[in-house]
Amino acid sequence: MPPSISLLYDRIRVEEKELINAAQKRGVDFKAVDAKELHLTITDPGKDRELFGEVALERCVSHFRGLHITAILENMGICVINSHKVASICGNKLLCSMSLAKAGIPTPKTIVAFTKEEAMTAVEEIGYPAVIKPVFGSWGRLIAPLKDRETTQAILEDREEMGNPLYQIYYIQEMVKRPPRDIRTVVVGDLIAASIFRYSAPDDWRTNIARGGHAESFPVSGELREMILKAAEVVGGGVLGVDAMETENGFVIHEVNSTVEFKGAMSASEVDIPGKIIEYALGLAKR
């Protein structure tokens, strides 16, 4: 029996389309499962098990949907890429920064506070300009530069009014002086699949491809390469997007993403990233 792989999705982006193609090309026993059409009996984990094969690629665009499905699938004994532990850490900027710092990986200075008053103290301690980020979320959503006391006050007041209590976990980070680009590396298992420079769009300071940034191939080597592989390892490993920045004092790693979007990296590097991910999943299935 060939190993069976499933792909959990809630939206088919370029990445999911390419993963489906890569699996079909290899003749893998493969099934794409729409997470929006699932209901799973968590008190009887054997019931829905055969739907998902031996290895599941969790690719939901909704982080919390994917995270909770991962917990259920792992409880059924299915190997999920990425694991619940990895998705929990990478889905929360606070947990991710702590993991990086604890492992001695250079990462931007970050202070967390739980009221707007203490957040203001944290900003003044870090110094202007600083950055405020929600602990969850992607694509640069609600990430704001804090340039002076007045704008900081306004932004903190806005956050206080937001309904979701996670917005009141004030994650304040130093604004790293960097060129208008960062480095996105796609790590698959213990190997680097591809790495690129991501340049911010002309009308934005954030480098997210989702914000209109563009990509250029940049093969990483030496110390940076080691840092990236270590960052992937300390969050628990798997298929990951590790983001680094160039500073005056060397490289820093600011983020590791668990449901990595690799459209930009794939076209700029011309590496068959989806093929590598499917091969990695097949390797885990054979264990």
Judged by the rule CB under 8 A, the positions of this chain that interact with another protein are: 9-12, 16-17, 20, 32, 34, 36, 61-65, 91, 136-139, 141, 164, 210, 241, 257-261
Residue 89 or residue 126: which is nearer to another protein going by CB? Answer: 89
Residue 231 or residue 260: which is nearer to another protein going by CB? Answer: 260
CB of 31 to another protein, least distance (A): 11
Backbone angles phi, psi at 244, to 5 degrees: -125, 160
By the 10 Å C-beta count (0-12 exposed, 13-18 middle, 19+ buried), 190 is classed as: exposed
Question: Minimal CA–CA distance to 111: which of 170, 152, 153, 160?
Answer: 170
CB of 120 to another protein, least distance (A): 24
Residue 120 or residue 187: which is nearer to another protein going by CB? Answer: 187
Residue 65 or residue 85: which is nearer to another protein going by CB? Answer: 65
- One-letter amino acid at 4 equals S
Residue 21 or residue 121: which is nearer to another protein going by CB? Answer: 21
By the 10 Å C-beta count (0-12 exposed, 13-18 middle, 19+ buried), 12 is classed as: middle
CB of 222 to another protein, least distance (A): 26
Backbone angles phi, psi at 71, to 5 degrees: -60, -45
CB of 64 to another protein, least distance (A): 5
CB of 122 to another protein, least distance (A): 23
Tokens of 26: 């290899």
H/E segment holding residue 186:
strand 181-188
Q: Does the CA dihedral 186-196-133-100 come out positive or negative?
A: positive
H/E segment holding residue 244:
strand 239-247
